[in-house]
Structure 1
Amino acid sequence: MHDDVRAAMASPDQCHREPEAAALMSRVREKAARICGGDERHTSVLLAGSGTAALEAAFSSIVPADGRILILDNGHYADRLCRIVSVHQIPHVRMEFGWTQPISVEAVDRALADDPSITHVGLVHHETSTGMLNPLREIGAVVARHGRSLAVDAISSLGSERLDLVADHIDWCVGTANKCLEGLPGVSFVAGPRERFAELETVPAHTFYLDLYGHFNAQDREKAPLFTPALQVMTAFEKALDRAIDEGVTARGERYTALAERIRTGLADRGVRFLLPPEHRANSVTNVHVPGGLTYEELHDGLKAEGFVVYSTQQQLAGVFRVANMGQLTEGDITEFLAAFDRVVAKHAGETE
């Protein structure tokens, strides 16, 4: 993260019931909605917790008793959405496309036409388990044409990929302070039209701490947090949001794309196989197969000893690892990473000779 964001974590101790904390919360809510493409018609609700907290708050709160949500599943994080609605006994339909497979917009269109009981659609924008960027704008248009409500997990896309609450017909957008917004984990949020939040008053709550309407009512109408917020993390998040707004989503996306292409070109030159074809990849994560002759643990531990951390995929994709280029990385960092990668591969090649 940027030094300005890290320094904001050392802000003075604050009482969360004082006017200064209320003002901070209001500013962050407005900026979080703005980074999603919102205007005066939109707002956001902040939660103390990782992105999963905001996901659970949204997906357990937005579907009315007589509604049903269609989950579009092509990876681990869509499966997580299914698990969330199942835990809360939210009526749902699961449409599976298979890991590494793109979502068919035509299939979504047919499903909504055939089943009028579906009131909501749940989509993961950037499915980081595979690196897949799903067709948000096209799906949003279909959902809107059928008069349904779209809920988007934008945790790993917001801030660097094209996303707009209005243009993409998003009713519920879930984000987090970290990832492409370059803050710290510990604050997450749900953004959307103000009228949609107000409509939740008639939807029975399924959870106490993560009741989305309860948080909206407290933050928007009472100008106070429902429960104790993570004020230091929120202070750092405001600094990160200011930087994101100043840079702009398009410019950040271009910066990330340049870094991702540098990683991908370097790995391709080394004969590494990619999980997805170029047209389906997001601009912040690259999923690749572990080189032959190495285990993931050998690659991970060797790179960590060199100062770099890569991330494994889920069990369904054993032998695949992820390289992220979010945050304040530079071209020099990528050059050093590729050199470290070469040393780790060479070391284990030498050991097997």
Structure 2
Amino acid sequence: MTDTNRPHTDRVVLMNPGPVMTDARVRSALAGPDLCHREPEFSDLLTRVRHKTTLAAGGDTRHTSVILTGSGTSAVEAAISSAVPADGGLLVIDNGHYGERFQHIADAHGIRTRRLELGWGTPVDPSAVGAALAADPGLTHVGLVHHETSSGMLNDVAALTRIAHEHGRELILDAVSSIGAERLSLAEDGVDWLAGSANKCLEGAPGLAFVSASRTAFERLAAAPRRSFYLDLHRHYTAQEKAAAPAFTPGIPAYYAFEAALDLALTEGQDARHARYSALALQLRAGLADLGLDLLLQHAHRAVALTAVRLPEHMSFDELYRGLRAEGFVIYGAQEQLAPGWFRLSTMGRMTTQDVDRFLAALSGLMHDDRMRHR
């Protein structure tokens, strides 16, 4: 009997938006030596990774980063729960699943919010953000997702940070699926709190997340409420900055891999990686259009790392997933309201033009398979 889950090739191409395919040097780094996290060797590794993370986030000598063992969501939650003061509030900019997640995180910590619910895939109007802030002086922070992975929408960080600052508020940015691929800079854009992940466009291994901000902002957290124990940013900052040590036991192999990935990202440079991702996305989108498939969003609003695609006619996501998985491709379903008719394709990680060509050929074959089309 044929195993339909076994790909026809040894190379499995991950087209899900993280974890991503990594460079061989990143995978090799995972096999680094066993190490106690209280030894000087780990202090040195932690210090290097923090510095390189800050550089990747476009920070300068005014900025630093705190590394967390956890997913990207842990960094977003740490930033929200630590930065918003006891008497403050959060304006949630919601144009997708992860914008809505800001609301859920704030609710879990009893933080007052106002939610600007725009609808999935709807561009953010900066004037509406300004009006919401003007109407509620008690909102101290704005929560924004840079790349809304539920739709592939790219929100304008610079414009919305500018609006927040004009009203005397701070911006908390979910850059989990954008940092490394999209133009983003702590120093140039003025982002107050940036939450990111090692295992998406920075192309590290899963297991680490981080929050980057100014040193002054981290120091001010000494007077902030302690809403969480493990995710208390001031606790992590104090341990990492003052003692060059982790507050809790870290995922040491992921640190080895993240340093290797950061070295590759900094050597390649943000502009070159953006160009590499852009070329893959354009190649993929042109091929999808040639197959007659509809894409979500207008070109100007699409991030370079993900494309939302309407399912081929007469084909369910499960059928498409199984057919492509057998050819060596992992695709991703859409979420919530888009789930019935759409799927998502990531071009993150160490994907190649040959991978994209092979994927389009496999997809075309499935779409023209009479067994699929007549179901």
What's the TM-score bracket when you normalise by the shorter of the two chains?
A: over 0.9
Whether 1:330 and 2:352 are equivalent positions in the alignment is yes
Percent same amino acid among aligned pairs? 50
The residue type equivalent to 2:349 in the other structure is G
Q: Cα deviations across residues 159-215 of structure 1 (Å, max 9, x unaligned)?
A: 010111122121100000011000111000000100000000001111111111101
Whether 1:156 and 2:177 are equivalent positions in the alignment is yes
Q: Which residue in 1 is equivalent to 2:319?
A: 298
Q: Retained in 2: the 8 A contact 1:4–1:239?
A: yes
The residue type equivalent to 2:140 in the other structure is T
Q: Retained in 1: the 8 A contact 2:315–2:373?
A: no
**Cα pair distance change 1:245/1:348, threshold 3 Å:** farther
Q: Give 1:271-350 correspondences, 5 Å limit.
A: 271-318=292-339, 319-347=341-369
Q: Give 1:84-123 correspondences, 5 Å limit.
A: 84-123=105-144
Q: CA deviation at 1:347?
A: 2.2
Q: CA deviation at 1:236?
A: 0.2
The residue type equivalent to 1:163 in the other structure is L
Q: Which residue in 1 is equivalent to 2:223?
A: 202
What secondary structure, in the 3-state scheme, does the structure 1 residue paired with 2:201 have? helix
2:190 to 165, 169, 180: 169
What secondary structure, in the 3-state scheme, does the structure 1 residue paired with 2:41 have? helix
The whole-number CA distance in structure 1 between the counterparts of 2:51 and 2:29 is 19
Q: CA deviation at 1:71?
A: 0.8
- Structure 2 unaligned runs (5+)? 1-21
The whole-number CA distance in structure 1 between the counterparts of 2:179 and 2:75 is 14
Q: Retained in 1: the 8 A contact 2:99–2:144?
A: yes
The whole-number CA distance in structure 1 between the counterparts of 2:49 and 2:117 is 36
The whole-number CA distance in structure 2 between the counterparts of 1:172 and 1:148 is 12
Whether 1:78 and 2:68 are equivalent positions in the alignment is no
Aligned length: 353
Q: Retained in 1: the 8 A contact 2:84–2:90?
A: yes
Q: Which residue in 2 is equivalent to 1:247?
A: 268
Q: Retained in 2: the 8 A contact 1:72–1:121?
A: yes
After superposing the two structures, state which structure 1 stretch, 254-263 or 104-113, moved more. Answer: 104-113
Choose between structure 1 and 2 for higher RCO, CA contacts under 8 A separated by at least 6 residues.
2
Whether 1:270 and 2:284 are equivalent positions in the alignment is no
Q: Retained in 1: the 8 A contact 2:367–2:373?
A: no
Q: Retained in 2: the 8 A contact 1:294–1:348?
A: no
Q: Which residue in 1 is equivalent to 2:11?
A: none
The alignment yields a C-alpha RMSD, in angstroms, of 1.0
Q: Cα deviations across residues 136-160 of structure 1 (Å, max 9, x unaligned)?
A: 1110111111111111000000001
TM-score of the superposition, structure 1-length normalised? 0.98
Q: Which residue in 1 is equivalent to 2:145?
A: 124
